Amino acid sequence: MKAYYKVDEWRVIEEGFDPLHHEASESIFSLGNGHMGQRANFEEKYSGKSLQGTYIAGIYHPDKTRVGWWKNGYPEYFAKVPNAPNWTGIRIIAGKEELDLHTCKTSEFIRELDMQHGCLNRSFVATFSSGKKMRVVARRFLSMAEDDIGAVRYAVTPVNFDGTIEMIPFLDGNVINRDTNYDEQFWDIIESGVKEDTAYLRSRVRKSGFEAGYAMQYTVEVNGKPAKTVVEPLQQPGYNGFHLKIKARANEEVVLYKYAAILSSLDHKPDLLVKNSIERVTKAARKKFDKLYDNHVAIWEKNWAQSDIIIKGDAAAQQGIRFNIFQLNQTYTGKDERLNIGPKGFTGEKYGGSTYWDTEAFLIPFYLSTEPPEVARNLLIYRFKHLQKAIENAEKLGFNAGAALYPMVTMNGEECHNEWEITFEEIHRNGAIAFAIYNYIRYTGDKDYLAEYGLEVLIALARFWRQRVNWSDVKGKYVILGVTGPNEYENNVNNNWYTNKMAAWTLRYTIECLDYVMDEHPLQYQRIVKKTHLYYDSETSSWKDIIKHMYFPMLDERGIFLQQDGYMDKEQRMVAELSPKERPINQHWSWDRILRSVFIKQADVLQGIFCFEDEYTTDTIRRNFDFYEPRTVHESSLSPCIHSILANRIGEVEKAYDLYLRTSRLDLDDYNNEVAEGLHITSMGGTWMSMVIGFGGMRIKEGMLTFTPNLPHKWKLISFNIQFRGRILNVTISENKTSVKLVKGEKLQVEINGKLVNCTHENNLLT
Amino acid sequence: MKAYYKVDEWRVIEEGFDPLHHEASESIFSLGNGHMGQRANFEEKYSGKSLQGTYIAGIYHPDKTRVGWWKNGYPEYFAKVPNAPNWTGIRIIAGKEELDLHTCKTSEFIRELDMQHGCLNRSFVATFSSGKKMRVVARRFLSMAEDDIGAVRYAVTPVNFDGTIEMIPFLDGNVINRDTNYDEQFWDIIESGVKEDTAYLRSRVRKSGFEAGYAMQYTVEVNGKPAKTVVEPLQQPGYNGFHLKIKARANEEVVLYKYAAILSSLDHKPDLLVKNSIERVTKAARKKFDKLYDNHVAIWEKNWAQSDIIIKGDAAAQQGIRFNIFQLNQTYTGKDERLNIGPKGFTGEKYGGSTYWDTEAFLIPFYLSTEPPEVARNLLIYRFKHLQKAIENAEKLGFNAGAALYPMVTMNGEECHNEWEITFEEIHRNGAIAFAIYNYIRYTGDKDYLAEYGLEVLIALARFWRQRVNWSDVKGKYVILGVTGPNEYENNVNNNWYTNKMAAWTLRYTIECLDYVMDEHPLQYQRIVKKTHLYYDSETSSWKDIIKHMYFPMLDERGIFLQQDGYMDKEQRMVAELSPKERPINQHWSWDRILRSVFIKQADVLQGIFCFEDEYTTDTIRRNFDFYEPRTVHESSLSPCIHSILANRIGEVEKAYDLYLRTSRLDLDDYNNEVAEGLHITSMGGTWMSMVIGFGGMRIKEGMLTFTPNLPHKWKLISFNIQFRGRILNVTISENKTSVKLVKGEKLQVEINGKLVNCTHENNLLT
């Protein structure tokens, strides 16, 4: 499936229609605007295989847990973002024949994702079995300027016939999910109908009560002039629109503009949903398509100015990074702290659209550097708001006294996942949440965040680790038993180095933050002590004892941190010894064989070294990289980015480049043969990191940006903008030169390859 | 719920009807005869809570696997013994009122399991809301003499009214399972109807095609004389019988005799099922109830003569052991090598009625000692017949070259279970299957079994262990990674001592057996070598290398075998420190907390010591017992029996007694509050072992029976019969005397407390 799409620096292009690729293309060509998302389902009827997908941010269905064997502590449901009512549909009929690319012959088919302007274009000529030919040119966008508005321009030209073209733009509430545990219908239709020139729909998610309100209007032009149309309202339960008949002669272009407003009860009172959506769509339709589009493009221009990365000399790499950045910007805009980023964003049903540790570990850095600090802050506040639920989650598992265990998978703060080895044991996620606070403050300098929100979270996390360790008499150390680390190809292990590291670090950082808030925000400190019932002396002294005596498994004589106890008892095979027929092992090996093997799904010790890089010499990093990289199969999308960054860190630039291609073109080239299910949205943050932190060599040290760039030999130049403490900086790295230019804001000092540089509005060109 | 039933040496008695106990009593009062089983559901209508249960041996439904997260290697289905059509039902109507103990007032209620005669008696007086009183006396049995026949004597006496009694004996094929993964109906009705005086029914298990054929006849008497009855056939789809109207005066006893034949397609051609069942029931009805009953009782008399254990001085203990023996004899008779023993036997749906390692580890000894050798041999042949499936099961997990992994749970040799930590990792079951062969030969002396069946199984098991170990460079030993031992409160551990022990022992025993067959059965040996493609030299030499270099985790300085790597890293708490509120921990703790804890669900290292007791000094056994017993919560029914035996082994008789009571009265006193789901049939073999091997101190050494008995101070005497190599021996142990009397067969020598004794038909009384 590799190299199916044409390489272009700003566009993803599919030439020719292949039904076998259609579901994958529906994922690849998805659009979103933070508030909602839409897979690239065809507007017209399509009777072939298709995964219908319309998603509204923050709306979920609590799907009753399905499990073979219940374990104490399992959640009752898994929250899923349901496939929402369809607003894009336009049936097209010519005579007695309906346009359907599954039955018509298709030629000149081009589907194009215009990443620069955030729109989906499609054109083709369809030949009906009668021999009639019809040319279609369609454009669709989800407005970034008005995020409850979607618009379609759908142009039909009869090529070789005169006659009546019937167009049926509609809203359809009769939708189903492919992914349901018990084949349940998720949505109930509350109201639907047609009022004058507007169709409307109000639907409710059965179990959660979330509601969506839709309204739709249209206009029709023939050859650029308002068309004479015969209109009949279409009124079926939950399926409403207009049946239009337009007379057209050969080569006359009939254009339907379809406008839809998609509102949700997160922002509107349920009983106002219909009224408000009608108002919104009326206003949008009055602006007309081109104006809406221009406003939308203006936001994308701003987005690209903030977050584009230019790569010269390697169009595939250029397309790859832009595709990643485009998807991230589509998925989360940071306006609403109730929202987060699901692993598939708005591109598929899988993983339920819920929040994982991916956000903290792989996405925060992207939003920190490409958006004002409020965006990353909102992602942190999302977790702050779930703190009480995380405390309750820990209580359910037997912890107490304000200890918090954040869920592995969540929508509203409650745990959704139900595999004991993940749900109960993959507790390193707590570390990622602490680290994100640290990372945010390190980047933004916003230490006040601690007093307002961060410290309470850290105290609860520290308390969790305090209860989760136990003293081992035989080791004379604190140990952490029964965990699953980031490498999910090991389950229920003892002393996962990464987890132990995260635990000890969290305890240390929490004490540091406590002392800071005590000194600098005494009133807030008092409030927090009271609220959390903190006993500073006894609690911090037990934390210090753990920090001092935490056990870390080591392969001593080689200076390598051991992934977990007993790792060296495994048969020490290398990934290179595996037959290609066995790859990916998760599709060819039984689960127990995977577990017993030495092979690592994703960065684990290396993930920890990445987080705490400053603590280790290059030599130590290299030794660990050289030990783990040959054992890592990278069967998680979150793996190659971290390895790529560390490869750069130890100067292995070409290795870093190979790993980068794997991460940046994971979906475009469908490495894992699963793009039909949706895109790997969260790993796209990792791709961005592998560029800016990896090749760009960007770090923050004592509040200062530093760069130690590397370019693979294929690249002539990379260039990207960074937001940092009120400034926008442009970083441009060519073979022998790195410049950091101040685009906006006050001057500041940065470090490039160890040398201090003053950034002003002049270019700083340095060797 | 303890002490709900009256203690009696031969009976279990429920006095007074308590609907809250009804489902538990339905389990306790279950009947079976090896071919089929029946929960103690009331014959008359009962609208209260009840678990309907009729089970036919060997018939199962492959219920589609339900799992939250699929793992490579999981099976497609879980085989379940379905609740089969109901043959016991008799509706009773007086005027406009129907007898239903949920709505009538009940007095003088007695339900009694007569273990001596294998029947269920019930009597009560019901008062209808009209004030009418009716006395009912019912008896039911499932014939041990003709195992496809069940019979009911149902006597109704109007106490304070004259009038018409309506009786509706029926067959009902419209049954459901409570335990289904997707709420499916398991049975389809193929034929049903009434022919003259016989109602019949033929049903098919939808997915497996197994069929059951039922036929039913009846007679009615009033005060001992054939009654005048008005009869109408009852013909509804799958629900057929007779509507009888009998005039009766107050205090006249109306007795309905109901006879049913229950046949299955395991023994009959499907299209002959109706014909044959009509023939069978006709023949049975002709014999009449009393004759059928006498024939049935005669078998029970023989059973008790073979397997009874008498305990003097402790009625509760006496009732307990008889209840266990009774259930075992009801569940499996050894006639059919296609059958096995499910954990709940014929008493409930749970665990699907499938075969577990329980059979080899806990039941073989009972059947060896209480039945002719063919019975245990049939249980071994059951596994021999599944060998090819076990090889395929291993292949599915990545093994090859004839290695076999027997399923954790099975009906036809295919794996049914779907928890990776059990299905793929609880591989010690392979050890139990090898040990059962050894145990059978040790007891019976039937070494020819090896040449005919056993060796092929052993070779496949040895090959599995060969592939399942790996060499650890750091340990310089072979290790077994990623297993779950008998103690299922640990999952995915490394080097479970018991598993490693079983593996090494199996390799050693297989070589020994290979050499034996090579020498003694050269033709069979050649056949087996050819069939298994055995390379004697290379295979046995690699097995020997593993035997020599197998790693066994030890707590060295204390001479204790360590359950698995890392066990001592756990917080070393004792069960005595647990609050009663936390017990059982599996109902109060989250799963991860259980896994992390030191607490042991069931004998693990001690299970291994029990198997290989001769290898260890009493001192070693004591040290291990003293280490593990305080850490063991015995939350498996299979645990206390082994601990009881070892407590006896080290002379802690009163401790052994406490553990014995727990095992023998587990269900009668409902220790785990789950009897409503069914009885713990397989652990009953453990209870028997704790008597004969535990208190009786019986062992086999070099083909000789040895006894080192212990009596708890409460007991005056225990006495049991043992079948051994063509003899029946009676063993009687009183405070200071042990006698072993030859009941049948040729004289032999036994050892009692280290002294050789000649057993003849005279009593041997010794101190």
ipTM computed for the complex:
0.92
Integer CA distances (angstroms), A514 to A456, A525, B12, B518, in order: 9, 8, 66, 76
Q: What is the 3-state secondary structure (H, E, C) of B630-646?
A: HHECCCCCCCHHHHHHH
Scanning every residue of chain A, which has its alpha carbon at the shortest distance from the alpha carbon of B426? Answer: A592
Angstroms from B416 CA to nearest CA on chain A: 12
- Six-digit token string for A275: 């009224």
pLDDT digits (tens, 9 = 90+) for B580-614: 999 999 999 999 999 999 999 999 999 999 999 99
CATH 1.50.10.10 fits A320-331+554-695, yes or no: yes
- Give residue A764's pLDDT: 45
Of the given ranges (A547-551, B132-136, B475-479, B633-637), which has the lowest mean pLDDT? B633-637
pLDDT digits (tens, 9 = 90+) for A415-439: 999 999 999 999 999 999 999 999 9
CATH architecture of B324-695: Alpha/alpha barrel (1.50)
Residue A279 pLDDT greater than 90, yes or no: yes
Nearest 5°: phi and psi at B248? -145, 145
Residue B763 pLDDT greater than 70, yes or no: no
Q: Please name the member of B69, B425, B471 whose beta carbon is closest to the beta carbon of A419.
A: B69
CATH 1.50.10.10 fits A386-552, yes or no: yes
- Give residue A159's pLDDT: 97
Residue A186, C-beta contacts closer than 8 angstroms, at least 6 positions apart: A61, A63, A80, A82, A83, A176, A177, A180, A205, A206, A207
Average pLDDT over residues A590-616: 97
Average pLDDT over residues B709-737: 94
Neighbours of A68 (CB within 10 A): 18
Residue B24 pLDDT greater than 80, yes or no: yes
Integer CA distances (angstroms), B19 to B46, B86, B102, B109, in order: 10, 21, 8, 12
- Which class is A696-767 in CATH? mainly beta
Positions of E strands within B490-607:
554-555, 560-561
Residue A84: pLDDT band with limits 50, 70, 90:
very high
Residue A414 pLDDT greater than 70, yes or no: yes
Residue B337: pLDDT band with limits 50, 70, 90:
confident
Of the given ranges (A2-6, A568-572, A577-581, B254-258), which has the lowest mean pLDDT? A2-6
Angstroms from A475 CA to nearest CA on chain B: 7
Residue A762: pLDDT band with limits 50, 70, 90:
low
Angstroms from B472 CA to nearest CA on chain A: 5
pLDDT digits (tens, 9 = 90+) for B150-187: 999 999 999 999 999 999 999 999 999 998 888 888 99
Active site residues of B: 488
Q: Chain B partners of A565 at a C-beta cutoff of 8 Å?
A: 565-566, 569
Residue B1: pLDDT band with limits 50, 70, 90:
very low
pLDDT digits (tens, 9 = 90+) for A739-751: 999 999 999 999 9
Integer CA distances (angstroms), B368 to B376, B380, B442, in order: 6, 11, 10
Please tell me the distance from the alpha carbon of residue B182 to that of residue A66, in angstroms, as a whole number: 11
B472 vs A: CB within 8 A: yes
User: Does residue B552 contact residue B563 with C-beta atoms inside 8 Å?
Assistant: no
**Contact check, Cβ <8 Å, B418/A592:** no
pLDDT digits (tens, 9 = 90+) for B495-516: 999 999 999 999 999 999 999 9
Angstroms from B723 CA to nearest CA on chain A: 41
Which of A66, A72, A418, A601 is the best residue to mutate to test the B interface, defined by the most B CB atoms within 10 Å of its own CB?
A72
Please tell me the distance from the alpha carbon of residue A3 to that of residue A14, in angstroms, as a whole number: 10
Angstroms from B462 CA to nearest CA on chain A: 19
User: Does residue A190 contact residue A206 with C-beta atoms inside 8 Å?
Assistant: no
Q: Which superfamily does CATH assign the domain made up of B33-304 to?
A: Glycoside hydrolase, family 65, N-terminal domain (2.70.98.40)
**Contact check, Cβ <8 Å, B592/A73:** yes
Neighbours of A576 (CB within 10 A): 6
**pLDDT over 90, % of chain B:** 91
Structural domain boundaries in chain B: 33-304, 324-695
Which residues of chain A from 53 to 92 reach within 8 Å of chain B, CB to CB? Answer: 65-69, 71-73
| Count of helices and strands (H, E) across chain B | 22, 33
- Rg of chain A over all Cα atoms, to the nearest angstrom: 27
Q: Please name the member of A65, A566, A590 whose beta carbon is closest to the beta carbon of B397.
A: A590
Please tell me the distance from the alpha carbon of residue B55 to that of residue B262, in angstroms, as a whole number: 10
Q: Chain A partners of B72 at a C-beta cutoff of 8 Å?
A: 586-591, 594
Residue A350 pLDDT greater than 90, yes or no: no
- Give residue A273's pLDDT: 98
**Contact check, Cβ <8 Å, B491/A492:** yes
Residue A181: pLDDT band with limits 50, 70, 90:
confident
- Give residue A119's pLDDT: 97
**Contact check, Cβ <8 Å, A482/B419:** no
Average pLDDT over residues B36-48: 98
Mean pLDDT, all residues of chain B: 95
List A740's β-bridge partners, or say none: A731
**Contact check, Cβ <8 Å, A566/B565:** yes
Best mean pLDDT range from A314-318, B2-6, B338-342, B431-435: B431-435
CATH 3.30.70.270 fits A11-304, yes or no: no
B491 vs A: CB within 8 A: yes
Angstroms from B564 CA to nearest CA on chain A: 12
**pLDDT over 70, % of chain A:** 99
Scanning every residue of chain B, which has its alpha carbon at the shortest distance from the alpha carbon of A598? Answer: B481
- Give residue A766's pLDDT: 43
B400 vs A: CB within 8 A: no
Average pLDDT over residues A288-312: 96
pLDDT digits (tens, 9 = 90+) for A662-677: 888 889 998 878 899 9
Residue B710 pLDDT greater than 60, yes or no: yes
Average pLDDT over residues B217-231: 95
A569 vs B: CB within 8 A: yes
The model's pTM = 0.93
Q: Please name the member of A492, A566, A594 whose beta carbon is closest to the beta carbon of B595.
A: A492
**pLDDT over 70, % of chain B:** 99
A571 vs B: CB within 8 A: yes
- Six-digit token string for A17: 């229609």
Scanning every residue of chain B, which has its alpha carbon at the shortest distance from the alpha carbon of A422? Answer: B592
pLDDT digits (tens, 9 = 90+) for B342-384: 999 999 998 777 899 999 999 999 999 999 999 999 999 999 9
Q: Please name the member of B67, B420, B594 whose beta carbon is closest to the beta carbon of A592.
A: B420
Q: Please name the member of A66, A494, A570 whose beta carbon is closest to the beta carbon of B481.
A: A570
**Contact check, Cβ <8 Å, A474/B568:** yes
Mean pLDDT, all residues of chain A: 95
- Give residue B762's pLDDT: 61
Angstroms from B289 CA to nearest CA on chain A: 45
User: Does residue B414 contact residue B407 with C-beta atoms inside 8 Å?
Assistant: yes
pLDDT digits (tens, 9 = 90+) for A200-257: 999 999 999 999 999 999 999 999 999 999 999 999 999 999 999 999 999 999 999 9
User: Does residue A147 contact residue A52 with C-beta atoms inside 8 Å?
Assistant: no
Q: How does DSSP classify residue A145?
A: S
Catalytic residue, candidates A112, A360, A425, A488: A488
Q: Same topology for domains A320-331+554-695 and A386-552, yes or no?
A: yes
Which H or E run contains B421? helix B420-423
Residue B2: pLDDT band with limits 50, 70, 90:
low
Which residues of chain A from 549 to 568 reach within 8 Å of chain B, CB to CB? Answer: 565-566, 568
Q: Please name the member of A420, A568, A591 whose beta carbon is closest to the beta carbon of B73.
A: A591
**Contact check, Cβ <8 Å, B591/A71:** yes
